[in-house]
């Protein structure tokens, strides 16, 4: 994707912890991994998982922990968009937007904080969107999902702060990504 790939490229420039890239498409992961050759220390590994499936997320996190040790940080930059007014959006489209954007965050949060609580803390970062705070025509489905991410992050931050786990949410506006190219 766009924001997740940019984040991986940025993190790869810094030494330290292993970088584990997770996505649904092995070819895209391989391409991204190949472009991260500047990593000074530590490896970059890839795992195929569908973040809308909690079992696949749990397996991916378990694999990452088994191969690289406890989680220090997790970021979910998954996104999708349906640009339709509510009356034109099908139940299936609305459900898909919620699953890919909001449900994926919950699926990642649950096993991540379990690992972090057992290992002294960590950080979880979600990507919401400016559309969650500003009414934009024909963005009802994505606005609902992204606002849900903000609510999830706020509640999780309050819940897990005493356990030394930070949960944050960034909310970028329109960003030059393959997804946004359609707009």
Question: Across residues 19-36, what is the average pLDDT?
Answer: 87
Contact 76, 129 (CB under 8 A): no
Is a pLDDT exceeding 90 seen at residue 101?
yes
pLDDT at 174: 60
Tokens in use for 155? 């509640």
Is a pLDDT exceeding 80 seen at residue 21?
yes
Lowest mean pLDDT of 30-44, 62-76, 123-137, 138-152, name the range: 30-44
Lowest mean pLDDT of 31-40, 95-104, 145-154, name the range: 31-40
Euclidean distance between CA atoms 75 and 51, whole angstroms: 12
How does residue 81 score in pLDDT terms, banded at 50, 70 and 90? confident
Question: Across residues 112-118, what is the average pLDDT?
Answer: 98
Q: What angle do CA 35, 37, 41 make, to 5 degrees?
A: 140
Question: Across residues 160-164, what is the average pLDDT?
Answer: 99
* Cα 32–chain centre separation: 16
pLDDT at 105: 98
- What's the pLDDT tens digit per position in 54-68? 999 999 999 999 999
pLDDT at 40: 52
Question: Across residues 83-91, what is the average pLDDT?
Answer: 96
Which domains, and CATH codes, for the chain?
3-182 (3.40.50.720)
């Amino acid at each position: 994707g766009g924001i997740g790939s940019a984040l991986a490229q940025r993190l790869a420039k810094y030494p330290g912890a292993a970088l584990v890239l997770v996505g649904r498409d092995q070819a895209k992961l391989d391409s991204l991994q190949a472009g991260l050759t500047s990593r000074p220390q530590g490896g970059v590994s890839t795992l195929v998982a569908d973040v809308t499936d909690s079992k696949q997320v749990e397996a991916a996190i378990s694999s990452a922990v088994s191969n690289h040790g406890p989680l220090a940080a997790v970021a979910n930059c998954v996104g999708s968009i349906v640009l339709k007014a509510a009356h034109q959006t099908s139940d299936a489209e609305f459900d898909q937007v919620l699953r890919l954007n909001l449900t994926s965050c919950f699926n990642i949060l649950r096993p991540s904080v379990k690992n972090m609580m057992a290992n002294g803390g960590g950080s979880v970062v979600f990507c919401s969107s400016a559309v969650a705070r500003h009414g934009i025509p024909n963005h009802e489905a994505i606005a609902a999902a992204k606002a849900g991410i903000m609510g999830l992050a706020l509640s999780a931050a309050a819940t897990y702060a005493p356990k030394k786990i930070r949960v944050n949410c960034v909310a970028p506006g329109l960003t030059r990504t393959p997804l946004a190219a359609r707009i």
